[in-house]
Amino acid sequence: MKILVAIKRVVDPSVRVRPLADGSGMDIVNAKMSINPFCEIAVEEAIRWKEQGMATEVIVASIGPQAVQEQLRSALALGADRAMHIATDNPLEPLAIAKVLHALVKKEQPQVILLGKQSIDGDHNQTGQMLAALCGYPQGTFASRIEFNGEEVWVTRELDGGLQTLALTLPAVITTDLRLNQPRFPTMPNIMKARQKPLAVIPVAEFGLDLQPRLQILATEAPKLRQQGIKVNSVSELVDKLRQEARVL
């Protein structure tokens, strides 16, 4: 079974970023970058399947400028077999990313396509669903548990009202949630081995796809600061404060 895992390069979750002065985007110059946390969970899950003998090959793919090769090498150090860099300097919207991944799926013919449920920068939560629609594959989103049962894969999804388990026929698209697993740290020997693993670079233009943006960012601004709260010592004091606020409003 071949697994294709899509990963995204994002600002490290520990870094706090600010909007640019002109409001055209976020200031990420010199910011520490890493694999999107949800994508890292997808990589970990695929590697575990290979270690258990359920997968024969794990391929990682990422779309973006040359800098994304750093994250691809990190995924190779975690245990992926080979990587594919779809090269473009233009930021792509979720639909465009889904189109590119669809082209990769047709080329590689994986049995399972794993993605993080969303990226922590755009928070769109759209690419996996769009990819499944383009491929015509069943999908299991927000996966907190994945089990193989014969010719099916059972995906337990986290919903607002509880858990839902779906039985999907392969091939299928699955997006991973936080509680699916705990990603490992790469070992030094694996980091060294990752330098020798194949990393193919494919210009996005080779796919001949319509990747024109359909959205326009009008402005990017920081959320307004909330007023500092106050502490009260009793219920009666709380009621008095609420009455005062009501009179002010």
Q: What is the pLDDT of residues 189-235, one digit of tens each?
A: 999 999 999 999 999 999 999 999 888 888 888 888 888 888 889 99
CB of 56 closer than 8 Å to CB of 50: yes
* Residue 217, pLDDT score: 83
On whether the CB atoms of residues 81 and 197 are closer than 8 A, the answer is: yes
Cα separation, 149 vs 130, in Å, equals 26
DSSP state of 81: S
Q: What is the mean pLDDT of each run of 10 residues along the chain (249 residues)?
A: 96 87 82 94 96 95 95 95 95 94 96 95 92 97 93 92 93 95 93 94 94 87 83 90 76
Q: How far apart are CA 44 and CA 133, in angstroms?
A: 25
The pLDDT value recorded for residue 249 is 52
pTM: 0.86
Architecture of the domain delimited by 2-248: 3-Layer(aba) Sandwich (3.40)
Are 55 and 46 a contacting pair, CB within 8 Å?
Answer: yes
- Per DSSP (E only), the strands in the chain are 2-6, 9-11, 18-19, 26-27, 33-35, 57-64, 82-87, 112-116, 139-149, 152-159, 162-169, 172-176, 199-203
Q: Which residues contact 104 (CB under 8 A, 6 or more apart)?
A: 4, 61, 84, 86
Looking at residue 248, what is its pLDDT? Answer: 59
CA 151 to chain CA centroid, Å, is 26
